[in-house]
Structure 1
């Protein structure tokens, strides 16, 4: 027989229908094959469902941990949102409140009756529009402020209250869990900043978070044995109830003041942030921390789900420790209370409203939309009419400001008699001149820029902040008008987050 190639040799056998290699499986072999396929498919489907189910369970669990407060108590009339940068990104203001409520088992950690919740700690966190820099402002709990109308549990609104302790806003209505909306309204009234989110942390949650990260390194200024805390002087790691006692204790530690306690809290938060960033966000670290954090928090409805909260936290991933500065709102003692120090406190709020750093600089090109559609990147209109007024008792300020503006190229600058006792320099602008006013504000760091419907041009009213800047000698002996200089009342109360833990734990 010939092979297919035409040569001589054995003929290759051709498979037939009788060939067992082509017959379908039958009997036990076929049954085993189908069973294996079904098992594999079921296993794969099960893994998918199990993974998805675990994710759904975890999401529901974390969301269930969160508590939210009713937005009905947030004031109807609120400050505008901050200015967006060139990319359209906007700054974010978050009010962080530490509640001393003994409700829901918190009395086990701090003792005392359930009673009414107060805000032991208040920090206004301003995240700049670039989402790479942030300032945390501690507001003294005993500082005297105006408390606007706040919603009571019975549905009624209170009358405004003048010259009240700041932390009393949280207790309006005498609810065991406090009144976060009233504290938010008070901060908006005080600062002129729109608060985007309010977050309340209780005792148990705070202690649990410090344990979830394996403790937080701190520096104790002196041996402490009493008032619920026992620690040795020096560097050590604290967690749980010990960490809570460290940040809450006032008597017997440091200078014994509430201001000193805030410095210690700022140092603790810096160390906590550093610890979390150093550990990274692997699941073994993230899940226990997420569970502890969500159990700890009462939040506004804008952060009321695990997804919303995670999305917000993710938006802050570009802010490193070196990009955060803590500052205590400039203050002075007023008897056994604290009064905010003017004009430095006003300057601080104005800088944050304008999304400027503490030295008056911009972290990016701030967008200044106008009715004419002018772009902030366009060159300044040097022919815009500008009127300069002296809003202080310091002589010669208007002449200096006029000459400085003329040196910058502005061609129509005139002087005008003004009033007195303006703490912060103001720049008022008429219709179509917002962009001009915003550009001028770069020459007057911290200036309060506002629309003036009665004006047809731009009016600069010089304040005490400007007088202080131009009459205080700088390092070279020259007047210290800035950008670049931080007002004294702000600088002496500032603490960069990457400061050594043992540095400046007391204001004295």
Structure 2
């Protein structure tokens, strides 16, 4: 009896111990789960707080200042205008000197074209002293300016004479110059640039020679202390800003002379960011630093949109990120754009052709897999040839450019306009059977006349040209009559005092432009000045 009692007691104790072990195990699991949930909440709250902070940082400029007469989007790629502002407001005068009450100016600018395949990109620098046409721009009182010919490019940013500048006017000017639609515009001032370089831990640069204070400020009586020692070094903050702004004492001492150093710097910055990893976690602190002194168009006016855009660039290889300057020549103390070379560059970007002539339209990647960015024209190639044109090409559908042949006529007084439009079409694969002068030169609207069964081809032409009213005829041909609507947006066109005889634009980017391109992984010390 006693033995049985002891056995029962032992059994109960054993059972109780196991129960306690199970309860202890469940307790530990609950503690771990609670900790994990708490950590998740904290992380989520932290990310949420970061996004709220970014949204509070971002300033946008009004879309009402963007022209109503814009080029059509020509591809699945994107064009982003990046403007470096030398505004002295909000503490920028401490970094760049100057009067804090002065009007805002654009110190540098480039147009970044991200190809439709999202594996190639090219940044085209536009010198600030470039002579071009500034189209009508909106003033602070709501009125619009008149078109200005032979004006300097950086004057567009000063239209309205406000401290914050006029990025919408600069965007209008770039669209008018290139014939490309600018999808987004980003303005970064001294503070934003300085903060960004500090957050990434500095950017590696190459200084071609010792640089002194007088090189940065030529008004000094003496050369002052040495700011940079010749050779490769890492710079951030004020020193990074000094590096990209120096122009005296290096090369020819001009603004255009320092463009290649600025391109080398941006390439090195991209290389540093990519090496750290393009993830939302890495991008958030970068975005936080940059957005404190950044102004963007409404299309990029949130943290989600900014980070999403940055993430869309993650597959672009450094060697496929290229930098060029718009074809140029000196015209006295100013810079003139060289045609037809510049027109060929814009045409290539519009057609999503790389500088070496490759199609980067996004049909498939190197492994033959669909990238998801293929053009509508690629899909239309699979149309059953046995079907009639009207049956296979429904309203709104387009035809492959390489299957189209058309005549181009100039219906304006802009010299060489038909040749320029022909170059744009031929760069996309269209066969131009001839260029002629229209029976009258007072056409306001571009008209594309098409015969039976050719509406899809006409739609393609309208997209490639960025304008065009479709008009059916009883004839069987396909004729483009260019109006002022195309002249207002065509690259390199001008009228009146700016007018000059223009030669046809070549169908490919000139060799000197392609060969002079810089890649993001280029030798830091190579080609640091034009002069």
Once the 2 structures are TM-superposed, how far is the Cα of residue 294 of structure 1 from its aligned partner?
2.1
Query: How far apart in 1 are the matches of 2:457 and 2:353?
Result: 17
Query: How far apart in 2 are the matches of 1:46 and 1:263?
Result: 50
Query: How far apart in 2 are the matches of 1:336 and 1:155?
Result: 34
Q: Is the 8 A contact 1:430 1:452 kept in 2?
A: no
1:59 is matched with 51
2:122 is matched with 135
- Per mean C-alpha deviation after superposition, the further-off stretch among 70-79 and 139-148 is 70-79
2:104 is matched with 117
2:450 is matched with 430
Query: How far apart in 2 are the matches of 1:337 and 1:191?
Result: 19
What TM-score results when the alignment is normalised by the length of structure 1? Answer: 0.74
Once the 2 structures are TM-superposed, how far is the Cα of residue 93 of structure 1 from its aligned partner?
0.6
Task: Give yes or no for the alignment of 1:316 onto 2:313.
Answer: yes
Query: How far apart in 1 are the matches of 2:447 and 2:357?
Result: 15
Query: How far apart in 2 are the matches of 1:189 and 1:389?
Result: 21
Q: Is the 8 A contact 2:341 2:509 kept in 1?
A: no
The one of 323, 327, 332 aligned to 2:324 = 327
* CA pair 300-201 structure 1, distance change in 2 beyond 3 A: same
Once the 2 structures are TM-superposed, how far is the Cα of residue 36 of structure 1 from its aligned partner?
9.5
Once the 2 structures are TM-superposed, how far is the Cα of residue 44 of structure 1 from its aligned partner?
5.9
1:347 is matched with 344
Task: Give yes or no for the alignment of 1:506 onto 2:526.
Answer: no
Q: Is the 8 A contact 2:279 2:311 kept in 1?
A: no
1:291 is matched with 288
2:179 is matched with 192
Once the 2 structures are TM-superposed, how far is the Cα of residue 52 of structure 1 from its aligned partner?
2.7
Once the 2 structures are TM-superposed, how far is the Cα of residue 77 of structure 1 from its aligned partner?
2.4
Q: Which structure 2 residue ranges, 5 or more long, are not aligned? A: 17-23, 218-225, 364-374, 381-388, 439-445, 482-501
* CA pair 438-321 structure 1, distance change in 2 beyond 3 A: farther
* CA pair 327-379 structure 1, distance change in 2 beyond 3 A: closer
SS of the aligned residue for 1:149 comes to: coil
Q: Is the 8 A contact 2:270 2:520 kept in 1?
A: no
Once the 2 structures are TM-superposed, how far is the Cα of residue 99 of structure 1 from its aligned partner?
0.3
SS of the aligned residue for 2:233 comes to: strand
Q: Name the count of aligned residue pairs.
A: 449
Task: Give yes or no for the alignment of 1:250 onto 2:247.
Answer: yes
SS of the aligned residue for 1:271 comes to: helix
2:366 is matched with none
Query: How far apart in 2 are the matches of 1:308 and 1:271?
Result: 24
The one of 199, 203, 213 aligned to 1:216 = 203
Alpha-carbon deviations, 1:94-132, whole Å to 9, x = none?
000000001110111111112111110111001011111
* CA pair 37-218 structure 1, distance change in 2 beyond 3 A: closer
Q: Is the 8 A contact 2:160 2:166 kept in 1?
A: yes
- Per mean C-alpha deviation after superposition, the further-off stretch among 494-503 and 320-329 is 494-503
Query: How far apart in 2 are the matches of 1:111 and 1:378?
Result: 54
Query: How far apart in 1 are the matches of 2:25 and 2:118?
Result: 58
Q: Is the 8 A contact 1:224 1:232 kept in 2?
A: yes
Q: Is the 8 A contact 2:77 2:118 kept in 1?
A: yes
Query: How far apart in 2 are the matches of 1:208 and 1:108?
Result: 14
Query: How far apart in 1 are the matches of 2:89 and 2:7?
Result: 86
Asked which structure has the greater RCO (Cα within 8 Å, sep 6+), the reply is 2
Q: Is the 8 A contact 2:71 2:467 kept in 1?
A: no
Query: How far apart in 2 are the matches of 1:270 and 1:434?
Result: 44
The structure with the greater share of residues assigned to helix is 2
What TM-score results when the alignment is normalised by the length of structure 2? Answer: 0.71
Q: Is the 8 A contact 2:112 2:121 kept in 1?
A: yes
Query: Based on CA coordinates, which of the two structures has the bigger radius of gyration?
Result: 1
Once the 2 structures are TM-superposed, how far is the Cα of residue 416 of structure 1 from its aligned partner?
7.9
1:373 is matched with 393
The one of 251, 258, 263 aligned to 1:261 = 258
Once the 2 structures are TM-superposed, how far is the Cα of residue 317 of structure 1 from its aligned partner?
0.8
Q: Which structure 1 residue ranges, 5 or more long, are not aligned? A: 2-9, 24-31, 84-89, 420-425, 441-446, 470-481
Task: Give yes or no for the alignment of 1:162 onto 2:149.
Answer: yes
Task: Give yes or no for the alignment of 1:149 onto 2:141.
Answer: no
- Per mean C-alpha deviation after superposition, the further-off stretch among 47-56 and 327-336 is 47-56
Query: How far apart in 2 are the matches of 1:345 and 1:185?
Result: 18
Query: How far apart in 1 are the matches of 2:466 and 2:44?
Result: 52
- Per mean C-alpha deviation after superposition, the further-off stretch among 216-225 and 109-118 is 216-225
* CA pair 249-151 structure 1, distance change in 2 beyond 3 A: same
Alpha-carbon deviations, 1:207-246, whole Å to 9, x = none?
1111111211111122211225721222222111111111
Task: Give yes or no for the alignment of 1:303 onto 2:290.
Answer: no
1:337 is matched with 334
SS of the aligned residue for 1:326 comes to: strand
Q: Is the 8 A contact 1:329 1:493 kept in 2?
A: no
Q: Is the 8 A contact 2:348 2:509 kept in 1?
A: no
Once the 2 structures are TM-superposed, how far is the Cα of residue 283 of structure 1 from its aligned partner?
8.2
* CA pair 99-361 structure 1, distance change in 2 beyond 3 A: same
* CA pair 270-434 structure 1, distance change in 2 beyond 3 A: farther
* CA pair 305-389 structure 1, distance change in 2 beyond 3 A: closer
Query: How far apart in 2 are the matches of 1:163 and 1:269?
Result: 29
Q: Is the 8 A contact 1:344 1:489 kept in 2?
A: no
SS of the aligned residue for 2:151 comes to: strand
CA RMSD between the two structures: 4.5
Task: Give yes or no for the alignment of 1:234 onto 2:231.
Answer: yes
